[in-house]
Structure 1
Amino acid sequence: MTLDDVIRHCLAKPGAEETYPFGDADLCCKVGGKIFAFIGLEGGGTVGVKSGATAEEAGLWRERYPDDIAVSAYIGRHGWNRVRLGGTVPADELRELLDLSYDLIVAKLPKSKRPAISDQP
């Protein structure tokens, strides 16, 4: 997946919004006011995603792709990984990671902030 593919996939999610809270180099995709993807726009592109409910679950992804998935700085202990785009992670598995991150964040939102069922594809 290209950087543009990742952005399109994230922003196509129900309730997704695009923000730049850390400057123009990082796009954050949010749902219900919570970030589900940190997209690095420079240097070939990276995406930070919640890859598991725990750090241990996220670690399984790092074991599968040690050259392209690393623990996210500061928030890795909460199950977040950083994925290098254009590496060995297949497109379908990257989409799976993006979907998992979105789903994990939505599940933690108060019901009042979750996207409406009619918004779901």
Structure 2
Amino acid sequence: MDVERIQAHCLAKPGAWPDDPWGHEHPVIKVGSADRAKIFAFLREDGVGVKAGTREVADEWLDRHPGHARVMAYIGRSGWNDLSFEIPDDELLEAVDESYRLVVEGLPRKHRPDGWDA
């Protein structure tokens, strides 16, 4: 896996778009209209930050992939982890898909993108 491939996977999701609010090398990927958009993926050169349903679920990633998964700074207590591209591709893509689902479900119904499946 690499950052270009994970970005393409993210941007293929309904309503997904890149944003660079902090001037980093890689964008964050958001879903929703600009005024109500929420981040579902933080892209890095060596991995991706994603949301899990709870901190307990996020901790399972830490247990399964020691050294390749870590709690994200500042928002980790809310269930966000940084996952390294050393984790198998299918697991990374599944984590991104789950992060997207959780974030979209958190949007008000009128702000959810057309074409997404719950």
Tell me if both proteins adopt one fold, taking TM over 0.5 as the criterion. Answer: yes
CA contact (8 A) 2:2 2:47 kept: no
Of 35, 38, 45, 2:42 maps to 38
Distance in 2 (alpha carbons) for counterparts of 1:114 and 1:79: 21
Distance in 1 (alpha carbons) for counterparts of 2:41 and 2:31: 10
What CA RMSD, in Å, does the superposition of the two structures yield over aligned residues? 1.3
Q: What is the TM-score with the length of structure 1 in the denominator? A: 0.88
Consecutive unaligned residues of structure 2, counting only runs of 5 or more, are none
* Superposed CA offset, 1:23-49 (max 9, x none): 0323110001000000024xxx22100
Distance in 2 (alpha carbons) for counterparts of 1:47 and 1:25: 13
SS in 2 for 1:25: coil
Match of 1:49 in 2: 50
* Superposed CA offset, 1:79-105 (max 9, x none): 0000112x1x11100000000000000
Match of 1:29 in 2: 29
Deviation of 1:11 (Å): 0.4
Distance in 1 (alpha carbons) for counterparts of 2:96 and 2:53: 14
Match of 1:103 in 2: 101
Aligned partner of 1:70: which letter? Answer: R
Matches of residues 1-121 of structure 1 in structure 2 within 5 Å? 1-32=1-32, 33-41=37-45, 45-50=46-51, 52-85=52-85, 87=86, 89-116=87-114, 119-120=115-116
Distance in 2 (alpha carbons) for counterparts of 1:5 and 1:57: 25
Aligned partner of 1:95: which letter? Answer: L
Any runs of at least 4 consecutive aligned residues in structure 1 with deviations exceeding 6 A, and if so which? none
Distance in 1 (alpha carbons) for counterparts of 2:50 and 2:101: 11
Q: What is the TM-score with the length of structure 2 in the denominator? A: 0.90
Q: Paired residues, what number?
A: 113
SS in 2 for 1:36: strand
Aligned partner of 1:63: which letter? Answer: D
Deviation of 1:63 (Å): 0.5
